[in-house]
Each structure stands twice: as C-alpha cells, then as structure tokens.
Structure 1
Amino acid sequence: MPSVGPDPTDKDAEPFVEMDPTGRFGRYNDLLGAGAVKKVYRGFDQEEGIEVAWNQVRLRCFVENPTMLERLYAEVWTSGADDRTLNFITEVCTSGTLRDYRHRHRHVSLKALKKWARQILVGLDYLHTHDPCIIHRDLNCSNIFINGNVGQVKIGDLGLAAIVGKNHVANSILGTPEFMAPELYEGVYTEQVDIYSFGMCVLEMVTLEIPYSELDSVAMIYRNVRRGTPPAAMAKVRDPAVRDFIKRCIGAPRSRPPPRSSSGTLSFMASMMTTTAAAAMAPFLLPLSGTAAGLPSPQDRMACCALRH
C-alpha cells in the first residue's frame, strides 16, 4: 500500500535519512542506543503507522563471527544490506531500557518490580525451554526494554546469545562483567548463567545500583565474583524475601531457581510467578523470526504482539 508522504515544501516535516528496499520502513537520524554489535536508530513503519527500531550492524562483524547473524535474527521483522552494513527492523519499546526507565521513575512499588521480574522470567523460560536451548549470556537492565504506559517488559539484544545442543552447555567467555556468573568466567556453563544475571537485574531494580559499582576494575569484580562476595548493594535490600530470592539466584548453579519455579519455594517467587501462571503467559521477548535455522516461526511468536498480564 503506498504511503502518504509529507509535503516536500513542509520545512517542519522530519525527513528520513534512509529507506529499506521495500519503501515501507524509514530511518530517522535519531540514535536510540549502541551496543556491542549494533547501533539502533528510531524508524517508522509507513504501512502500519508505528515507530520501529532500525538496527545497523557492520558486515565485517559477520566475517569475524559468522554465527552472529543467526542470533540477531531472533529479533528481526525484516532486513536488508548495503555495501557496509546489515540493516534490520525490530519492534521499538517506547520507554527505552529498564535501567533508564527505573532511574526516571525512582519511586516504584515492590508490586511493580515483581511484575517486571515475572515477565523477565517468562522470557527466560521461553529461551531456555526452546529447542535448541538459547542462553542469552548478556542479560542486564540495559538489554531489557519496557513499554512504560502498559508496564510491558521484554528481553532484547540477543547478539551475544548462544544456541546450544541437548547438553545445554556453552563454552565461550563474554558478557557484562557485573552480571556474569562465576562459571561463565570458567568457559563451561549452562542456561543457569541467565538466572544469575536475572538476580543481579532484580538487585539493580530494587536498589538503583549496578552490581559491584563500588569496585574500580573488572579484575576486582572478577575476584569478588569468584570468591562469592556479593555486591555492596545487597545491604540496601530491606525486604528479607527479596534479599533471600536474590541470594538464591546468584548462588551456586544447582541452587538457582528455574524460571518456572514452584510457588512454594519462596514467598517472593510465589507472588511473582507460579507454574500455572507462567504457562498461561506469552513469552516476553522482542518478536522472533523464522528466518534463521533453529529459531521459531513468526506464527509461533504471534503472541508477542498481544501480551497478557
């Protein structure tokens, strides 16, 4: 369907600096954020009349790491390439990252924090029970996005995710040091590293402090993580149930709760999510595409466009 463009003489109209090959999506010169492997700009879907995220990755990244393309396609609606970059369109979360949103809104109830945490757990459960299993490996509050007007939280930025076999074991070292589980530094780990990172995300959501922000270097963070020394921010968590839940998440791998934990495990966990509730809720991830081998089809991901609370 052809779009109704702005009057060329209208000086107030915001121009697109780039269009996708179909002419449906346009990119504005408005950088929303930059990560380890990509830059994200504000874009617009002329057919649906909605804002989108226009993602750019340098093609040389795929030469250095060919598996990156499969991981990135976990978020893609459509894509195209030029001589230097791969461009792909994804959903845009209107309120940005959970980290930025939490700092903009400093007075948030424990009820709201639990609601966000529950949605993150449902997203992790989807990744971890997918065949093949997907380990995010870089879960932190800057890779979790929110639509603030409805309190809808989604996991994104799967550029460092690992797609693993039946043994669920991965063996490369990468991630954000403050959120990396100790076994991740060893180079042999399972999806339980995402539960550790999730615990650190809950800690940041509650205290507004990035874990281990009191330390001056990655080496010091590494030493404390290996020793099992918790972040100083733990002392600021007043609710005993929340504190115990975080401790369990960042404890030894076998003691960490799975995303679909029993409602009788901890009072905090029980109020966030039960097995029945988890099964009834749609996965809280940015929409997936069936373009890459091993990833779900668009039909399997349809529920992402109409999430239930």
Structure 2
Amino acid sequence: MNGTIVLDSDDSEFVEVDPSGGYGRYNEILGKGSSKIVYRAFDEYEGIEVAWNQVKLYDFLQSPEDLERLYCEIHLLKTLKHTNIMKFYTSWVDTSNRNINFVTEMFTSGTLRQFRMRHKRINVRAIKHWCRQILHGLLYLHSHNPPVIHRDLKCDNIFINGNQGEVKIGDLGLAAILRKSHADRCVGTPEFMAPEVYEEEYNELVDIYAFGMCVLEMVTFEYPYSECTHPAQIYKKVMSGKKPDALYKVKDPEVRVFIEKCLATVSDRLSAWELLNDPFLQIDDY
C-alpha cells in the first residue's frame, strides 16, 4: 500500500500514520537536512519512540519501475542487523505527496557531530571506543557479498546514545535514495569523498577514507577542508593529494598516523578488519 494517512490533530497527537497503522508521526521535528526531515514518531506495537524520516521525491523518479527498484533497495536495508548499524524498521513510497518515508530507531543524543560539539573535554580513550564501534559496523557492511558501501559516511550520520556511549552508523537509506536520484554524478559530501569516488571507480574502501575524516573531525572539531570555500577547491586539493589543514593540527602523533592510514591511496588503505587490529585501537588496561 502506498501513501500515508494524514490526520487532523495537535502536537500531542499523530499527524500521520504509516500504511500499516503501526507507526504514528508527531509534528515535532528532530532534525532537518538538505535532503530530509526527521520527525519524532511512535511504534504503537512495541511502545517505543522512533524516528520518521521523510525524503522528498523530485522529478528523478518518473517511472513505476524506477520507484519499484528504489523501494526494493531500501527495503533490503531491513535485513541489516548489527549492533553498530541503525535499526531500520519499515519504508514506503508516498506517491500522492511525492516522498519516501522510512522509520528507524531514535537516538537520545543525536549525531556524533552534535554530541562531540556539546562535550569538548573527551579523553582519546573515548575516541578509540567510538572508532571501534564505527569500524565494527563498517566491517559488517563490507563483509556482505557484494559489499554494502555506505558512500556518505560522516559524523552527521553517525548516531549516539550518550548515556551508554553506543554509536551506530545511520542514513544508509538516504544514501540509497540519493544514489538513485543523482545517477549521472557522484554522490556524497565532498569533504569526506576519497579521490577515486570522483573517478566513479571505487570499492568499499571509500568508507574507510570517510571514516578517517570522521576521526579527524572528532579530534579537531573541524570539518575537513574547512579552509576551502567551494567544492571545486576541495576537489582540486583531494585530486592533487593534499590533505586537510586540520590534519596538521592533530597534536597526538599516534592519532595522526592512524588517520593517515585511513586517508592513504586506495592501494595502501587498510580495511576495517585491519584497522580494528591496529595497535592504536587495542584496549588499554588502565
């Protein structure tokens, strides 16, 4: 069944329910990006709060076949089950309002970027703990045949429950939608895109490069390549092998070497498994 049931009610009541009738959306916005709006929602059967993600479908999906392929790809995300991957409950295309909706688990502390900006005094031990969790999630994705590639990993779509320090990779559904909608060009966030992505011949190691940029952001509070004012400048630096200025602000030599391993050329870049076994990420005894 396509479509969403719209209801007339105040903020304390549902304004929409999904086609199955199991999930209800409130008016409260949890977050908003260039491509989607996230609302607070509720799972009536489990009695838990969830996130209702709504992405506008523009003119890129004209035929029923296109919609069906997109729906199938996003529906497959429900099969991904891992501690460090955001739970994906359901999705549907609302053809009348031209949007696609997907319901995911909700996180108490928002994105890792937001959390890090709120808590600036953090020991490197905590950074390592986050890194291990992200890499476990990537290892799970990359172990599929063929590998599941996120293609747009960044601190803005890694989520955290701050009371437990639990970190999960999210927005896989959004990455799939954007990939279908911009089939004629590479999709991602320029600051986190490996050189080979621009050449459109790449493998799962693009996620490792992006992970390295996430670590850089975690330790410097700076978006990579923040010295650039335009994507074309970032492209020029990336393709000429120039690293972000922020890298040279990393004071801890062990942290910097670890980041550089992630940002290495694809032939020298380590896999998620290799990085998990890197000396830098081994659990300290103290």
User: TM-score, length-normalised on structure 2?
Assistant: 0.80
* Aligned with residue 150 of structure 1, among 129, 145, 164: 164
Partner of 1:202: helix, strand, or coil? helix
Q: Deviations over 1:37-85 (max 9, x none)?
A: 4322111112322110112233446716655434433153123444223
Counterpart of 2:52 in structure 1 is: 54
Aligned residue identity for 2:89? W
Aligned residue identity for 2:243? P
Q: Is the aligned partner of 1:174 residue 2:172?
A: no
Q: Deviations over 1:194-216 (max 9, x none)?
A: 10000000000111110001111
Counterpart of 2:197 in structure 1 is: 184
Corresponding pairs, count = 253
Counterpart of 1:31 in structure 2 is: 29
Aligned residue identity for 1:15? E
Counterpart of 2:206 in structure 1 is: 193
Q: Is the aligned partner of 1:112 residue 2:126?
A: yes
How far residue 34 of structure 1 moved from its aligned partner, in angstroms, is 3.3
Instruction: Identify if the C-alpha distance between structure 1 residues 71 and 246 changes in structure 2 by more than 3 Å, giving closer, same or farther.
Output: farther
Counterpart of 1:228 in structure 2 is: 241
Any stretches of 5+ residues in structure 2 without a counterpart? 1-9, 79-87, 178-182
Q: Is the aligned partner of 1:128 residue 2:147?
A: no
Answer yes or no: is the 8 Å Cα contact 1:199–1:249 preserved in 2.
yes
Aligned residue identity for 1:96? G
Counterpart of 2:175 in structure 1 is: 160
Counterpart of 1:238 in structure 2 is: 251
Aligned residue identity for 1:155? I
Answer yes or no: is the 8 Å Cα contact 2:74–2:91 preserved in 1.
no
Answer yes or no: is the 8 Å Cα contact 1:261–1:269 preserved in 2.
no
Instruction: Identify if the C-alpha distance between structure 1 residues 59 and 226 changes in structure 2 by more than 3 Å, giving closer, same or farther.
Output: closer
Q: Return 54-63 or 238-247, whichever deviates more.
A: 54-63
Partner of 1:134: helix, strand, or coil? coil
Determine the C-alpha separation between the residues in 1 that align with 2:90 and 2:36. 16
How far residue 227 of structure 1 moved from its aligned partner, in angstroms, is 1.3
What fraction of aligned residue pairs are identical, expressed as a percent?
Answer: 53
Aligned residue identity for 2:273? R
Determine the C-alpha separation between the residues in 2 that align with 1:155 and 1:262. 17
How far residue 191 of structure 1 moved from its aligned partner, in angstroms, is 0.8
RMSD: 2.5
Partner of 1:56: helix, strand, or coil? strand
Partner of 2:154: helix, strand, or coil? coil
Any stretches of 5+ residues in structure 1 without a counterpart? 1-10, 163-169, 273-309
Answer yes or no: is the 8 Å Cα contact 2:135–2:276 preserved in 1.
no
Counterpart of 1:69 in structure 2 is: 71
Determine the C-alpha separation between the residues in 1 that align with 2:236 and 2:103. 40
Determine the C-alpha separation between the residues in 2 that align with 1:253 and 1:29. 44
User: TM-score, length-normalised on structure 1?
Assistant: 0.75
Q: Return 17-26 or 61-70, whichever deviates more.
A: 61-70
Determine the C-alpha separation between the residues in 2 that align with 1:247 and 1:71. 33
Counterpart of 1:269 in structure 2 is: 281
Instruction: Identify if the C-alpha distance between structure 1 residues 141 and 198 changes in structure 2 by more than 3 Å, giving closer, same or farther.
Output: same
